[in-house]
Structure 1
Amino acid sequence: MKKGIKKLGIVAVAAGLTALALGGCGNSKKADSGEKTITVSVDKNYYKYAESVKGEFEKENHCKVVVKKNPTMDTLQKLSQDEQSGNAADVMLAPYDQVGTLAKQGLLANVTLPTDGRYNSRDKQNVTLKGKQYGDPATIETLVEYYNKDLVKDAPTTFDQLSQMSKDPKYAYAHDKSKNVAFLCQWTNFYNAYGVIKAYGGYVFGDNNTNPKQLGLDTPGAVDGIKYMTSWFNIWPKGMQATTSNENFITSQFTKGKTVVVIDGPWMAQTYKKDGMKDNLGVAALPMLPGNRQYQPFAGGKAWVVNARSNQKALAKKFINYLTTEKNQTLFYKDTQEIPANDQSRAAAVKSGDPLAVAVNNQYQKSDPMPNIPEMTEVWTGAQNLLVNAASGKETPEQAAKQATKQIKQQIKQKYHVN
């Protein structure tokens, strides 16, 4: 879900999800020569990959694949309008949590997943709504621990270690020595914070995130998790209470050697390396929370999906099956450093010893699949308000959880008529 599709991008799209989609591309037509054409819309981070692999498919299927660059979240918000105008792409990438929403709105074609062993049950669950699949899983992602190997020899394995580290004056914040930046995480972002809430006993929806009538963000366990996170805001500089600028602050502190450990997604690895962290960048699965609780972040990622109104649905479905073969998923991983959903290419990445692939794969097995029912759209904004209000002290964790749950329920009821 940032550079690609990021967690904050997910939050941003939530506000406009009544009209989700991908646009800015012409719907499939036949080229003047008579050959069939499909249009693929991708974020700029994936353009090079799509261009590099399309040739073999074009040759084998006597067709043309036109790849267009469009910001994923911008285009997701425009799909319904583009559907009406006939300008929507045939193939696109969509975050798992949006697949159900898009499918329920009738914007995605259901697909038949290949049966060659490229996907496991969790991968399939990410693209399934009411027993039907609406995309081919492309990537897996979840939070991991990044650490500066110049400042600590081994990855901390517990939050108790992070707490002790955060008492060291060596990591005092330069502009306010009463604050400490040894460990930082953007917990005003629900994507990052959910794993703590889940660890303490909270959840999003009941019945394994399938029942929107039951919310678990104000349960006693959820409140305990919020209280724990709130305690860290007393340690961190006030700017950590922001909703977006704190991410740049975290990146700056980490890449400049002021911060030892950060928690973020695999999409940040390239940014850290670009900003000067190469040999000293360590990555591992997440440390254990107090009480030996397992941090359980969302297990997310992206899927290649097909426009339900494409004039070339069969060809488009064939193309997304082609994109997710072991060969092409391995190429995708090498080009983007995002961990492939294809089990064979993922296993190869792990076997290669790539620390990022190992960490993501290990943490993914312990993570909670992100809800992909449409009602999840209404959770992001309310949950962010919960965290910001609790972090700032505007509301107690109990008050913030209760108010956010009320807001989310009202939004779900209004939009989906769920009581």
Structure 2
Amino acid sequence: MSTWKKLGMGVLATGLALTLVGCGNSKSSSSSSSKMGKTLKVSADPSYKSYMKSVIPKFEKKYNVKVKVSYKAMLDEDDALKLDGPSGKGPDVLMAPYDRVGQMASQGQLTTAKLASGRYNAVGKKSVTYKGKVYASPVTIESDVLYYNKKLLKNAPKNFTELEKLAQNSKYAYANDKTKNVAFLTQWTNFYNSFGVIKGYGGYVFGDNNTNYKKIGLNNAGAVEGLSYMTKWFTKYWPSGMQNVTSNENFVTQQFTTGKTAAVIDGPWMAATYKKSKVDYGVAVLPTLTNGKDYQAFAGGKAWAISNYSKNKTAAQKWLDFISNNANQKSFYKKTGEIPANTVARKTASDSGDAMAAAVSKQYDKDVPLINLPQMAEVWTPAQTMMTNAAAGKMTPKQAANKATKTIKTNISQKYDK
């Protein structure tokens, strides 16, 4: 799934940042009553119709509350809340990707929520926390993983040293340029994918565990080392088309699904495409880096959140408690195939023989929660340009990192520090 990621983090986040101007906490939050209303308005993505039909009757019977469900694409509903909420047309409960939870909370669109104890690990909790307060209940987990072609590789490569050896094998020479190699491919021009390398070498986005936007670590020694390593793949191994940010993703997919590429790094949302192509693939955690450290990707996913404009926040909180319990999260996995955030349900999925669930779950625990500060909106595009400038040889990795960092600091200062 992960439509929010596929739209392009830079475009999405920049659009979100523009909505921050003039947004504040809604006065409607004070109008809610501690008593439970008789109707709860819930918005869900159309892909969840089957699941929603199975759980809504149980909730209605348990709490004697009528659920009025509307089906609307998640990102469309999130965008519409700033207008529909104040007018009374918006839902009481809706879903949002983790990075939008912080964005929407900062705009006063979400109210704080309570997490039932024992259902989430530290990464899950942090994903829905903004400025020390919880604003949603985690539903799914997502992470980049390694896909490998079982007909080409007996086992998944465990580190990048193994991947580099593959990249020197003429068996994987690129058809249109035999001096280049496609044994391993990934879209590192997308910062969502390249961040894990930078982090693994010692770089970071914001200071104090991504809570201090005034301190940026994309041009420290570790970040430059990680950027330099990725640049090596672009210049030494990969065809020049891998630098094209608009077509390289399709190129990676085409090469893997036609059996030209042995291994790729991408998210669980690609599984359906690979299955359709009938490629016999396996899934594994991300390979360790050349320094022996973990490839620490962004830990993504989606959460249920309560609209700050809701007049039935009591029932809305009951929905969050109910929908995230062990039984309903197990049911969610069976109905949707998406990996649940609830740790008990997640273990059930991982132990079921589902290689994707096992790989994502294991990798997720190594990952960094997707940054939900509003200032993250200013990072995606400059970080992408940082990679392309270094990959194309327009700048040294250090120069590219310095330029990106300067751009990010300037944009944050102009938009957020007035």
For residues 4 and 45 of structure 2, the distance between their equivalents in structure 1, rounded to whole angstroms, comes to: 8
RMSD: 2.1
Instruction: Give the corresponding residue for 1:180.
Output: 181
Query: Any stretches of 5+ residues in structure 1 without a counterpart?
Result: 21-26, 28-34
Asked whether the equivalents of residues 105 and 111 of structure 2 are also in contact (C-alpha less than 8 Å), the reply is yes
Query: Please, what TM-score do these two structures have when normalized by structure 1?
Result: 0.90
Instruction: Give the corresponding residue for 2:307.
Output: 307
For residues 250 and 48 of structure 2, the distance between their equivalents in structure 1, rounded to whole angstroms, comes to: 23
For residues 68 and 172 of structure 2, the distance between their equivalents in structure 1, rounded to whole angstroms, comes to: 50
The one-letter code sitting in structure 2 at the alignment partner of 1:208 is: N
Instruction: Give the corresponding residue for 2:211.
Output: 210
Q: 1:75 to 1:263 in 2, by over 3 A?
A: same
Instruction: Give the corresponding residue for 1:23.
Output: none
Cα deviation for residue 202 of structure 1 reads 0.4
Instruction: Give the corresponding residue for 1:141.
Output: 142
Asked whether the equivalents of residues 4 and 45 of structure 1 are also in contact (C-alpha less than 8 Å), the reply is no
For residues 255 and 331 of structure 2, the distance between their equivalents in structure 1, rounded to whole angstroms, comes to: 32
Instruction: Give the corresponding residue for 2:376.
Output: 376
Deviates more, 1:212-221 or 1:249-258: 249-258
The one-letter code sitting in structure 2 at the alignment partner of 1:252 is: Q
Cα deviation for residue 404 of structure 1 reads 1.2
Give deviations 1:15-41, integer Å, cap 9, x for gaps. 211338xxxxxx9xxxxxxx8333333
Matching of residue 266 in structure 1 with residue 268 in structure 2: yes
Give deviations 1:25-80, integer Å, cap 9, x for gaps. xx9xxxxxxx8333333333333322332222123333333333333334433332
Instruction: Give the corresponding residue for 2:247.
Output: 245
For residues 52 and 3 of structure 2, the distance between their equivalents in structure 1, rounded to whole angstroms, comes to: 14
The one-letter code sitting in structure 2 at the alignment partner of 1:404 is: A
Larger RCO: 1 or 2 (CA < 8 Å, sep 6+): 2
Instruction: Give the corresponding residue for 1:290.
Output: 290
Cα deviation for residue 3 of structure 1 reads 4.4
For residues 67 and 366 of structure 1, the distance between their equivalents in structure 2, rounded to whole angstroms, comes to: 36
Give deviations 1:95-143, integer Å, cap 9, x for gaps. 212212211211101111112x112232212111233210001112211
Asked whether the equivalents of residues 94 and 304 of structure 1 are also in contact (C-alpha less than 8 Å), the reply is yes
Q: 1:47 to 1:275 in 2, by over 3 A?
A: farther
Q: Percent of counterpart pairs with the same letter? A: 54
SS at match of 1:233: helix
Instruction: Give the corresponding residue for 1:328.
Output: 328
Cα deviation for residue 289 of structure 1 reads 1.3
Instruction: Give the corresponding residue for 2:193.
Output: 192
Cα deviation for residue 307 of structure 1 reads 0.7
Instruction: Give the corresponding residue for 1:63.
Output: 65
Give deviations 1:302-329, integer Å, cap 9, x for gaps. 2111111012222122112221111111
The one-letter code sitting in structure 1 at the alignment partner of 2:243 is: Q
Instruction: Give the corresponding residue for 2:155.
Output: 154
For residues 100 and 3 of structure 1, the distance between their equivalents in structure 2, rounded to whole angstroms, comes to: 18
Asked whether the equivalents of residues 19 and 79 of structure 1 are also in contact (C-alpha less than 8 Å), the reply is no
For residues 387 and 7 of structure 2, the distance between their equivalents in structure 1, rounded to whole angstroms, comes to: 14
Q: 1:6 to 1:67 in 2, by over 3 A?
A: farther
The one-letter code sitting in structure 1 at the alignment partner of 2:189 is: T
For residues 417 and 253 of structure 1, the distance between their equivalents in structure 2, rounded to whole angstroms, comes to: 45
For residues 249 and 74 of structure 1, the distance between their equivalents in structure 2, rounded to whole angstroms, comes to: 29
Instruction: Give the corresponding residue for 1:31.
Output: none
Cα deviation for residue 408 of structure 1 reads 1.1
For residues 58 and 124 of structure 1, the distance between their equivalents in structure 2, rounded to whole angstroms, comes to: 27
Instruction: Give the corresponding residue for 2:33.
Output: none
Query: Any stretches of 5+ residues in structure 2 without a counterpart?
Result: 21-27, 29-36
For residues 295 and 331 of structure 2, the distance between their equivalents in structure 1, rounded to whole angstroms, comes to: 31
Matching of residue 6 in structure 1 with residue 5 in structure 2: yes
Cα deviation for residue 7 of structure 1 reads 5.4
For residues 38 and 239 of structure 1, the distance between their equivalents in structure 2, rounded to whole angstroms, comes to: 50
Query: Please, what TM-score do these two structures have when normalized by structure 2?
Result: 0.90
SS at match of 1:139: coil
Instruction: Give the corresponding residue for 1:107.
Output: 109
SS at match of 1:38: strand
The one-letter code sitting in structure 2 at the alignment partner of 1:86 is: G
Cα deviation for residue 159 of structure 1 reads 0.8
Give deviations 1:191-234, integer Å, cap 9, x for gaps. 10000001111000111111111000011211111111111112
The one-letter code sitting in structure 1 at the alignment partner of 2:326 is: E
For residues 323 and 87 of structure 1, the distance between their equivalents in structure 2, rounded to whole angstroms, comes to: 23
Instruction: Give the corresponding residue for 1:32.
Output: none
Cα deviation for residue 335 of structure 1 reads 2.6
For residues 308 and 205 of structure 2, the distance between their equivalents in structure 1, rounded to whole angstroms, comes to: 29
Cα deviation for residue 259 of structure 1 reads 0.9
